Each structure stands twice: as C-alpha cells, then as structure tokens.
Amino acid sequence: MATLELQNLQAEVAETGEEILRGVDLEVKNGEIHALMGPNGSGKSTTAKVIAGHPAYEVTDGSVTLTLSEADVADIDADVDEEDLTWNLLDLEPNERAALGIFLAFQYPAEIEGVTMVNFLRQALNAKLDEREELFEDEDEEAEAESEKDEGYETSPMEGPADDGDVGVAEFQQLLKEKMELLDMDKKFAERYLNAGFSGGEKKQNEVLQAAILEPSIAVLDEIDSGLDIDRLQDVSKGINALRDEQDTGILQITHYQRILDYVEPDYVHIMLDGKVVKSGGAELAEKLEDEGYDWVREEAYETA
Amino acid sequence: MSSEQDHLKETDTEDRFDFKKEEKSAFQTEKGLNEETIRAISEDKDEPEWMYERRLRALKQFQEMPMPTDWPGQPDLSEVDIDEIVPYIRPDVDVRAGVDDWTELPDEIKDTFDKLGIPEAEKNALSGVGAQYESEVVYQNMQERWEEKGVIFCNMDEAVREHEDIVREHFMTTCVPPSDNKFAALHGAVWSGGSFVYVPEDVTVEMPVQAYFRMNSEGMGQFEHTLIVAEEGSEVHYIEGCSAPKYSAFNLHSGGVEVFVGEDAHVQYSTVQNWSKNTYNLNTKRALVEKNGRMEWISGSMGSKATMLYPSSILKGRGASDNHITIAFAGEGQNIDTGAKVYHNAPNTKSTIESKSISKDGGRTNYRGLVHIADGAENSSTAVECDALMFDNESTSDTMPYMEINESKVDVAHEATVGKIGDEDVFYLQSRGLDDDDAKQMIVSGFIEPITEELPIEYAVELNRLVELEMEGSLG
C-alpha cells in the first residue's frame, strides 16, 4: 500500500518568486482515483509538477512524502529497513521519484526527435529498475555495484555487448506489444519518435502507455482529457481504469471538466482555489461543479475563511 | 537507430582514444618545410618524377599564399606554425611490401588498432579495410571477390606505382588543385598515405570499404590523400575514421579527398573523426559529379582545437545530385567551423544540406555554407537545413549560409533552427526514470540520429560513444 501525502505544500516560481501553492493538503493511496479540479490558475498543474520535482518551482514550506508498504518493495534485491519505507520526495531527483513509483502524465509532453518509442521506453524502464535498486542499497552494496559496473567489455566495444539492463530487447518487445494491445494502440507507434508529430490524442494515449509500462504506484495525470474527441477520450479513460484495476495504481486526475469523470469514476473529488484545496468530497461534488460552476465554492471558501 | 546502441552508457572510458604509443619510426623528416623535405619524402617513397614535381609546385604555391585570417568568425590559426611540424613519419613497417596479414604487423601498431577495434570492424561486413599509422598505410585488405571484379583498394603510395595512369590523371588536377587554398597546397606538397579506391564501370560494391587513420606522434602533421574514382554506373560506400591522442604540442591534420563520380554512378563518403583537442584539422574535400551521378557526404566532426572543413560537390552534369549530412560537436576551447559547398553547374541538379551542431561549455560551432547555382542551371533545386543545439549560455553557434543564385528557374530553400537543450525535455525524460546525464545523452543521440542511421552499426555506435564522452568532458 503506497500513500502519497502532501501536507501544507507551499511553492513559488523559482525564477520570479511568484507564489502559487499556498498550503496544499492531499492524500492519495494506490488503487484510489482522486479528481483534482479547479479553475485556471488555481495551482493544479503546479501541484503535479512539484510532486514530480520540476526545477522551475521552489518549495517554500510543507512536505511531499511517499510511504511504501513491504509489498511495494518486494521486488527489491536487498534488505529494506523499516525506515526506508517513508521517503521525503522533496529531497529526491525527479528520476528517483519515478523509481519509487511516482508518474506524471504531462499535459504537453516533450517531443524528442530521433528517439524511437521502443528504445526510449526500454531505456526508461531499465533506468527505473536500476535506480530503484540503488535507492534501497546501503553504501557498501552501492560501492560493490559500482565496481561491478566498471569492468566494461572484455571484447572490443565495436562489437557491442549482447545486451544490457534488466529487461532485454526481446522481452521488452513482448511487454510493449501486450500493453499496446491493451490500449488499442497501433503497433507502428513503437517505431515512431517519442511524441514527434503525434496528434494531441496520440500524445495522451502515449502518456497512459508509459504509465502502463512503468507501473507506478501513484500516477498524476495532468489534464489528460484536454483536446480529446469523444472516441479518444474513451480510449484514454479505458487505459486509466486499466492502470487502477490491473496495476492497482493510485490516480490523481487533474481536470477542468466533469466529462472524463463519466468514464473514470473518482472515489474522491478535491477542489482547488488560489493554491489550496478548499473542498473535498465524493463524485457528486464534480457533478455539482458541472451544474453550478465554481462560484459557490469560492463563496463558501471565503466565507468560512 | 537500433537497440544495439543502447549499451553506450556502460562502455569503457576515454582511455580507448587517449592512449599513445612510444614512437618507433623507421624514418622521419626534420621539422619544417622546404625543398629538401619534399625531396626526402619523395625519395623515401621512391616516387616518379612527375609526382615530385607536383609536390614542388604545390610547395611554391603554399609559400606564396597567405594564411586565411579574415573570414567572419574564422577559427584562430595563429598557433599553426609549419616550421614546428614534422610532416612525415614512416613507422617501422616495410610498407613497400605491404602487409595484408594482420598478424605480421608490429605489436605496438597492432595494439593501437586493436584498441580502436579495427580488426573487429573488418570482420563486420566490410568489403575492404585499410589502416594508416602516422604517415603510412600499414595494413590493407580487400575481399577477393571485389578484386576479381576489378575493384582496386590500396594505399595511395602503392596506387602511384601500380596505377600510375589513373592517379596521374586525377591526383590534384581538376578536382582539388593545390591552388585551391593554402592548406590544399600544403597537402599537395607533403601528402603521404591515404587510400585509393577505383570502381570499374557498372560494378556495385555492396559493402562499405573502410580506412582508419591514426596520428600517434607528438607535433606531427598528417596529410593523407584519398582518391576515389567511380566509373560510369558504379556504386561504392567509403568510410574513414580518424583519431589522435592528446599531446602538449599541437598537431596538424590536413587531408585531401578527391572523388570522381562518373555518369549514373553513386558514391557515399562517410567519416567519423575524433581528433585530440590540440589538433588543427584543416582539410579539403571535393567531388566532381557527372551526369545523373550522385554524391553523398556524411560526416561527424568531433574533437580538434579548430576544424575548418567544407566538403564540396561540383555538379557538372545534367541531373547530378548531392546530399550532405554533417554533424559537429564543440566543447570548451574548441571551434568547429564546418559546412558544405555545392556548385550547380548544370540543369536539373539537386542538392540537400543538413547540418547539425552541438556546443557546450563555451564551445563554438559554425555552419559555413556556399550554394552556387550557375546561369543556365535551370530546374535545379537546393535545400539547406541547419540545426544547432546548445547546452548553455556560454556556447555559441553561428550559421553563415551563402547563396549565389544566377538562374531564376530554380528552387531554393534555407532553414535554420537554434535551440538550447530544453529544460522541459530533460525534465520529461527524468520523470520517466532517466537521470539528468542520460536524459541529455538521449536528446543528443536523437538529435544526431539522421547521421547515425546512415552509418554502418559500428560507426553509429562509435559516433554515439564519442558524443557521450564529449558530453562527459572526459575526452582529452
């Protein structure tokens, strides 16, 4: 059971000092679906980026912690101490957070020319698995692992090694094929360059595919529904439900609209205003927003404040 | 790019490129350049009189021409002092007899090339391989089945003796005359070694022919000459790799490449060069392309203190075409000035230039290009695309395209992009589990992918590894 917890999280834009998050509290466990809603500029995307470790934001107060259970670290090939089950994510690099099981699906994913999906995904998966082992290794083991690494090839490097990493080429091809079938994705995707020339819908589908491959404990999906037609919305929603149902991933679904919640039914809905979560409830909260907008939330929030 | 290249992260370190061997030469000239040096080189090679005379003429032209100094953004060449260069070193191998059995080479030369992976590369789908150490080709091997078809692949010195007529006709006459520029003249005077490739009419050499040049001694100059003659309807892919270890004194590399592309012939010349950071790399490379012939230049320029290199094609015949793909990488203290030149001298000619550069830690890359379309070269087209990738605000990249269009019925396109390696791109990859270095490495290898995909796998791997080492700053 993995739990992501934000407590009184405050953050500003590193370059300008502009305050964005003014004390966000949230808790997401794996297997749950949370919707994070709010008007433009309320801090939803910033929350997502701060969780993942985006360098453009500086955290000024509060905490982001990830608590893992023993089951979550069953794959780790080392003794895991009790104290290693709780991580302060703010101390970690973005790739270390990814290794612990945090995934961020981007609203506007980067396009990387020249890097095929299949190469990227395999390298990402192997990097994640390696980093994961390293995070739980104590220093002696780390040194040992390093010395093993430094051996290099015995033959000329021009020959190239047979393979590297935990997941080999053939094994990965099979994994990718299965996940793409699950998401109804065209297999041509695998040989295309990462997001380059992808339509908006294809990019969103690709984000879900990556989550399916990397199997995070907690996936933060930043407006994954924006710019999708109804067919694609259904495809993407199917993928999100599969993450929860088959991988027990916890979902933090950031969205403006009720629309996606018709397909991805949230267990909890949180409303964000001016850098804070001001109201939380069940799925009915999203429906009320759809009917009545945010004004009533604003009134309620500032009356009580 | 294929998955075999994924392993680059776990390779050995820079020492593969940076090792040096104790000098063991059989003969070398004094430092500096004069008629006596020229005679010494020519005599040591037992050359015919006409070659000696060409050398002398080139020497005179070299002495008369000024150093290039006033090009905008030109690399500083003030340190290049020809009097401090040893122009010719013959290693201790009987080059006259020629070695075609690897095991006969002296150990230190074998070790050098072993480290560079040459014998392994030969095993991997090459139709022929040659290896040059200092000024001489020490090893040459051509697969028999190509020899039977009349393909010639040998070192230039042997070519002067064995294929005198072809060489005499083509060597620095119409393609790269010594009068072309100061360093072409220098090259004409002191050239040594290099490759000669001759492909008879209608013969297609399906596998690449490879040569590797290695400059091992301090303060030496390397002046190999490559002459490729592809007769009508023939096809060949020639690949060159070059490297030099790091010394405190500067080295000078001034190669010459001449390519004759016959009617309907197709030549691809690919090179991956990695010079030590104190090498001045000043070359002249040119192709003459006949009717419907096709020339392709693929080059990766790494290392060197300064590089000035603009492979050029003269499209002589109707329907001739040219394709350039170049990549340059400049780190701290480096100025890589490279680009392409194309002369459209006939109708229906076509050229494309794709130039990519990467600069970091204050490195400087320039794209310097010239496209000339002659009056009467109607229905010709050219497309130039320059992309620059920068790691930081200290690095610079300049694009200096120059177009001379003297014909109105033509299609001309130029496009340039400059980008800093994007924080968002890096963050995206990091959020997927790659660390900062690997993320940048992935972006760069994607950036250079148009080049790597054109190369045989060993070279693509090599190029990727060199880029990776450059990025770590671990190459000397």
Q: Considering only the beta carbons, identify the residue of A164, A193, A214 that sits closest to B6.
A: A164
> Tokens at residue A41, please?
């500029």
- Tell me what the pLDDT averaged over chain B comes to: 83
Q: What is the mean pLDDT of residues B128-149?
A: 73
pLDDT for residue B85: 76
Indicate the Cα dihedral angle A260, A265, A270, A275, nearest 10°.
Answer: -30
Report the distance separating Cα B449 and Cα B469, nearest Å. 17
Decide if A214 and B432 are in contact by the 8 Å CB cutoff.
Answer: yes
- DSSP class of residue B205? -
Residue B119's pLDDT band (cuts 50, 70, 90): low
Tell me if A20 sits within 8 A of A43, measured CB to CB: yes
Q: List the 445-464 stretch of B: residues with Cβ below 8 A of A.
A: 445-450, 457-458, 461-462
Decide if A214 and B117 are in contact by the 8 Å CB cutoff.
Answer: no
Residue B405's pLDDT band (cuts 50, 70, 90): very high
Report the distance separating Cα B66 and Cα B98, nearest Å. 38
Q: What is the mean pLDDT of residues B420-441?
A: 90
Helix or strand or coil: residue A220?
strand
Q: Considering only the beta carbons, identify the residue of A56, A149, A156 that sits closest to B120.
A: A156
Residue B340's pLDDT band (cuts 50, 70, 90): very high
ipTM of the complex: 0.92
For B416-438, letters b (16+ CB in 10 Å) and e give eeeeebeeebbbbbbbbbbbeeb
pLDDT for residue A154: 33
Residue A157's pLDDT band (cuts 50, 70, 90): very low
Q: What is the pLDDT of residues B19-40, one digit of tens each?
A: 666 656 667 777 778 898 899 8
Tell me if B355 sits within 8 A of B388, measured CB to CB: no
Lowest mean pLDDT segment, chosen from B150-164, B189-203, B322-336, B439-453: B439-453
Helical residues (DSSP H) of B74-181, grouped into ranges = 107-116, 118-123, 144-148, 156-162, 164-170
Residue A197's pLDDT band (cuts 50, 70, 90): very high
Report the distance separating Cα B285 and Cα B260, nearest Å. 11
Chain A residues whose CB is inside 8 A of the B463 CB are: none
Q: List the 105-134 stretch of B: residues with Cβ below 8 A of A.
A: 114-115, 117, 120-121, 124
Interface test with A, best of B243, B432, B464, B467 (most A CBs within 10 A): B432
Q: Between these two residues, B419 and A141, which has the higher pLDDT value?
A: B419
Angle at A195 between CA A193 and CA A197, to 5 degrees: 85
Please identify which residue in the block is written with the tokens 């295309």. A192
Q: What is the mean pLDDT of residues A25-41?
A: 95
Helix or strand or coil: residue A146?
helix
Residue A53's pLDDT band (cuts 50, 70, 90): very high
Q: What is the mean pLDDT of residues B288-314?
A: 93
For A68-91, letters b (16+ CB in 10 Å) and e give beeebbeebebebeeeeeebebbe
> Tokens at residue A117, please?
């999906």
Q: Which residues pair with A252 in a beta bridge?
A: A34, A220
| Contact with chain A for residue B19, Cβ under 8 A | no
| Contact with chain B for residue A173, Cβ under 8 A | no
A83: Cα separation from own chain's centroid = 24
pLDDT for residue B19: 60
Decide if B431 and A163 are in contact by the 8 Å CB cutoff.
Answer: no
Helix or strand or coil: residue B167?
helix
| Contact with chain A for residue B389, Cβ under 8 A | no
Helical residues (DSSP H) of chain A, grouped into ranges = 44-52, 94-100, 117-136, 139-149, 169-182, 200-214, 230-247, 283-292, 295-304
| Contact with chain A for residue B436, Cβ under 8 A | yes
Angle at B215 between CA B214 and CA B220, to 5 degrees: 160
Chain A residues whose CB is inside 8 A of the B446 CB are: 112-115, 193-194
Tell me if B135 sits within 8 A of B222, measured CB to CB: yes
Q: What is the mean pLDDT of residues B92-98?
A: 54
Lowest mean pLDDT segment, chosen from A67-81, A258-272, A279-293, B343-357: A67-81
Q: Between these two residues, B315 and B222, which has the higher pLDDT value?
A: B315
Q: What is the mean pLDDT of residues B149-154?
A: 91
Report the distance separating Cα B433 and Cα A128, nearest Å. 5
Chain B residues whose CB is inside 8 A of the A48 CB are: none
- Tell me what the pLDDT averaged over chain A comes to: 88
Decide if B7 and A163 are in contact by the 8 Å CB cutoff.
Answer: yes
- Which residue of chain B has the CA closest to A160? B4
pLDDT for residue A1: 85
Interface test with B, best of A95, A116, A171 (most B CBs within 10 A): A95
Q: Considering only the beta carbons, identify the residue of B423, B428, B465 that sits closest to A157.
A: B465
| Contact with chain A for residue B263, Cβ under 8 A | no
Chain A residues whose CB is inside 8 A of the B117 CB are: 156-159
Q: For residue B394, is pLDDT > 80?
A: yes
Q: Between these two residues, A223 and A166, which has the higher pLDDT value?
A: A223
Tell me if B333 sits within 8 A of B362, measured CB to CB: yes
| Contact with chain B for residue A55, Cβ under 8 A | yes
What pTM did the predictor assign?
Answer: 0.76
Report the distance separating Cα A21 and Cα A9, nearest Å. 7
Q: Considering only the beta carbons, identify the residue of B12, B442, B465 that sits closest to A115.
A: B442
Q: What is the pLDDT of residues A84-102, one digit of tens each?
A: 899 999 999 999 999 999 9
| Contact with chain B for residue A197, Cβ under 8 A | no
| Contact with chain A for residue B7, Cβ under 8 A | yes
Residues B466, B468, B470, B472, CA torsion sign: negative
Tell me if A100 sits within 8 A of A34, measured CB to CB: no
Q: What share of chain B has pLDDT > 70, as a percent?
A: 80
Q: For residue A281, is pLDDT > 50?
A: yes
Tell me if A250 sits within 8 A of A218, measured CB to CB: yes
- Which residue of chain A has the CA closest to B441? A115
Residue A112's pLDDT band (cuts 50, 70, 90): very high
Q: Considering only the beta carbons, identify the residue of B6, B448, B458 that sits closest to A123.
A: B6
pLDDT for residue A152: 38
- Which residue of chain A has the CA closest to B453? A114
Report the distance separating Cα B286 and Cα B176, nearest Å. 7
Q: Between these two residues, A149 and B231, which has the higher pLDDT value?
A: B231
Q: What share of chain A has pLDDT > 90, as a percent?
A: 65
Q: What share of chain B has pLDDT > 90, as a percent?
A: 45
Q: Considering only the beta carbons, identify the residue of A110, A155, A161 that sits closest to B7.
A: A161
pLDDT for residue B134: 72
Report the distance separating Cα A146 and Cα A151, nearest Å. 9
Q: Which of B225, B254, B224 is closest to B82 using CA atoms? A: B254
CA A36 to chain B, closest CA, distance in angstroms equals: 20
| Contact with chain B for residue A17, Cβ under 8 A | no
Q: What is the pLDDT of residues B178-230, one digit of tens each?
A: 999 999 999 999 998 888 999 999 999 988 888 877 766 666 678 889 999 99
Please identify which residue in the block is written with the tokens 């072993």. B114
Report the distance separating Cα A73 and Cα A57, nearest Å. 30
pLDDT for residue B120: 57
Q: What is the mean pLDDT of residues B268-287?
A: 88
- Which residue of chain A has the CA closest to B421? A112
